[in-house]
Amino acid sequence: MAIQTAQVSIENIDDAKGLDSVMTALKNITGVTAIDLDAASSIATVRYDDTDTSIHALTAAISMVDYVTQPYPIDAPQNPRYHD
């Protein structure tokens, strides 16, 4: 078991129903252990067990509720918040 942390950009989320849909989609993924959704910056920080799921499963789940995603492992240089 290896716990990973990824940040997922969620664009065009602008209402409580959208936030609930994204949170439900992520919570329903086996292996997701924690979610912190920052609606102001449209970023979800997700902790997950990489033996049970992957970044691809996270983005697929969010895409199913009609939001555009861009996944970045939290420590990846491509992550726009890498230096935060």
Please report, in angstroms and rounded to a whole number, the separation of the first and last CA atoms in the chain: 27
Q: Where residue 82 falls among pLDDT bands split at 50, 70, 90? A: low
* pLDDT reported for residue 64: 79
Q: Take residue 4 and report the two structure tokens written for it.
A: 């990973």
Centroid of chain to Cα 29: 11
Q: Are 2 and 24 in contact (CB under 8 A)?
A: no
Q: What's residue 52's pLDDT?
A: 94
CA distance linking residue 67 with residue 77, whole number of Å:
24
Which tokens hold the place of 50? 């990489």
d(CA 52, CA 78): 24
Residue 78 has pLDDT above 60, yes or no: no
pLDDT tens-digit series, residues 26-49: 999 999 999 998 878 878 899 999
